Structure 1
Amino acid sequence: MNGPLSVATIVAALILAAWYLLRTALDRAPSRFDLLASVALSALVTVLVVVAVIGLFGSSRPHDTATFVGYLFTTIAFAPTAIVLARMEPTRWGSLILGVGALVLPVLVLRLQQIASVPLA
């Protein structure tokens, strides 16, 4: 779970969060580019979750597998949910929704790393 894919996901999410929050401060609604960038972030998160699921079938499983799987479901669903909500709110608040969604993703990825780093004894 620790690796370049996790770092890339965290960095991309933080860069997009800064962009979306700047657009919110400038009173801009989410543009088509913003929504496509969120879709790209969702694709990156999907790859990360698929790699994590494959890792579940390996020899080093996390200590609390149920919590890990719960975080996996939350992580993969978070960005698409933010996209849907942002499309429903075509004002500056849609940009804020995308920004908050992008800020939460690094926290979820870090929590997945914490859970995965404690192997089953």
Structure 2
Amino acid sequence: MFAPLTWVLVGLSLAAAVYAVVLAARNKRIDWPVLGVLGVVEVLLVAQLVVGIVQLSGTDRDVSGPFFVGYLIGSLLILPIGAFWALAESSRWGAGALAIACLVIPILELRLHDLWAV
């Protein structure tokens, strides 16, 4: 895997999670800045999907292809689900749900890193 992309995704996701927690603590709904960061993260996740599949097809490593691609696709789905939930929920729990979704991305990224390093 392309390690710098992984760490950029982890950093941006954690920053968005912190911002979402601040919004939840202030009893505010999510706003455009956090949606913009999530958009950047989602574009980078698409790039990671493409890079990951290309690297998987050209490697002789003992990587479980279905698990690896499943984690790549799963990471693409988490943020849109969290964002739609946050937009639909008018209380602070919408931002809280988004914070949870943002925290799932670094976990998935670290698991992808572990799968690739085997």
- Structure-2-length-normalised TM-score: 0.90
Deviation at residue 62 of structure 1 after TM alignment = 4.4
Alignment partner, residue 99 of structure 2: 99
- 1:62–1:68 CA contact under 8 A, matched in 2: no
- 1:30–1:91 CA contact under 8 A, matched in 2: no
> After the TM superposition, which residues 1-121 of structure 1 pair with which residues of structure 2 at under 5 Å, given as runs?
1-118=1-118
Residue identity opposite 1:39 in structure 2: G
Point out where structure 2 has 5 or more consecutive residues left out of the alignment: none
Runs of 4+ in 1 over 6 A off after TM superposition: none
How far apart are the structure 2 equivalents of 1:106 and 1:80? 15
- 1:30–1:90 CA contact under 8 A, matched in 2: no
How far apart are the structure 2 equivalents of 1:92 and 1:60? 47
Quote the RMSD (CA, aligned, Å).
1.4
How far apart are the structure 1 equivalents of 2:90 and 2:44? 25
Deviation at residue 61 of structure 1 after TM alignment = 4.2
Identity among equivalent pairs (%): 28
* Deviations 1:48-79, CA, capped at 9 Å, x for gaps: 22211111111244431111121112111111
What is the number of residues matched between the two proteins? Answer: 118
> Which has the larger helix fraction?
2
Deviation at residue 2 of structure 1 after TM alignment = 4.6
